[in-house]
């Protein structure tokens, strides 16, 4: 089984990769289209040159690898994907051959977290529009992709992960509730910039508090993201 998890940035996505990676029966890959996305857009992200050197910049080549042989011949292959990487030049047909999951988080939390790392994020930076479009694409193919809210996972990791595994006919495993401190061998080269908190963790953080205040300069981004979030929230497990 190949599992493609789609989320925007700052959305528990790395912790979820660690959870699946700790199962022992699951290979993982970290944001495989990142280098292709940077090469195609010329965006200036932290560690841009290192990222471009660390992965294939050919989106078609990346797509083929995602439906090719599973690393280490493991029975499951968890793919952590960022929705904002899926620009028009990146192929999508390969998504027909995988189990697509969608990880959501309230836009106010995403914006506050992202802005602390990279100033003035735009709607395209945080991936909500692209996430909704990919979800609709999967449904147009007759798929019934699963939506899970990171807030619910942090509220009760054991119950929500069991529910998620059941929804995709994947055997659940208690090993998903923890992982070794210090990161995962498959972390992308960009991990030192973005993964500090999860590197210091050994499991999911506790329940989230009140929504953060979004600066006035980013209120328009929040307002634009909310309809996409609400649409998908209504369909979450």
DSSP per residue, 124-187: HHHTHHHHHHHHHHHHHTT---EEEEHHHHHH-HHHHHHHHHHHTT----GGGGB--TT--TT-
Alpha-carbon distance 10 to 198, whole Å?
Answer: 11
Instruction: Read off the pLDDT of residues 183-221 as tens digits, 9 standing for 90 and up.
Output: 999 999 999 998 999 999 999 999 988 999 898 889 999
Q: What is the arithmetic mean of pLDDT over 110-137?
A: 88
Is the pLDDT assigned to residue 117 strictly greater than 80? Answer: no
Residue tagged 């998908």 (tokens):
232
Instruction: Read off the pLDDT of residues 64-113 as tens digits, 9 standing for 90 and up.
Output: 999 999 999 999 999 999 999 999 999 999 999 999 999 999 999 999 88
**By the 8 A CB rule, do 192 and 212 touch?**
no
Q: How confident is the model at residue 27 (pLDDT cuts 50, 70, 90)?
A: very high
Of the candidates 102, 99, 121, the residue with the CA atom closest to the CA atom of residue 111: 121
Residue tagged 């959870």 (tokens):
19
Distances (CA, A) of 14 to 28, 63, 217, 223, 230: 11, 20, 28, 26, 23
Sign of the four-CA dihedral 73, 14, 148, 32: negative
Q: Considering the entire predicted model, what is its pTM?
A: 0.94
Per CATH, the number for 2-233 is 3.40.50.300
Q: Where are the domains of the chain?
A: 2-233
């Amino acid at each position: 089984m190949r599992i493609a998890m789609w989320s925007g940035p700052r959305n528990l996505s790395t912790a979820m990769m660690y959870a699946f990676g700790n199962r022992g029966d699951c290979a993982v890959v970290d944001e495989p289209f990142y280098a292709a996305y940077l090469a195609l857009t010329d965006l200036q992200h932290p560690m841009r040159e290192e990222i471009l050197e660390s992965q294939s910049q050919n989106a078609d080549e990346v797509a083929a690898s995602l439906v090719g042989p599973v690393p280490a011949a493991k029975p499951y292959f968890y793919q952590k994907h960022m929705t904002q990487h899926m620009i028009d030049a990146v192929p999508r047909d390969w998504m027909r051959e995988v189990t697509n999951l969608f990880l959501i988080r309230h836009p106010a939390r995403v914006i506050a977290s992202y802005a602390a790392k990279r100033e003035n994020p735009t709607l395209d930076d945080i991936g909500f529009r692209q996430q909704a479009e990919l979800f609709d694409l999967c449904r147009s193919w007759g798929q019934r992709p699963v939506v899970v809210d990171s807030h619910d996972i942090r509220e009760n990791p054991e119950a929500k992960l069991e529910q998620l595994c059941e929804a995709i006919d994947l055997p659940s495993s208690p090993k998903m509730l923890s992982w070794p401190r210090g990161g995962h061998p498959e972390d992308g080269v960009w991990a030192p910039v973005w993964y500090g908190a999860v590197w210091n963790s050994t499991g999911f953080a506790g329940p989230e508090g009140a929504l953060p205040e979004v600066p006035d300069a980013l209120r328009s981004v929040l307002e634009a993201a909310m309809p996409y979030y609400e649409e998908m929230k209504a369909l979450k497990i």
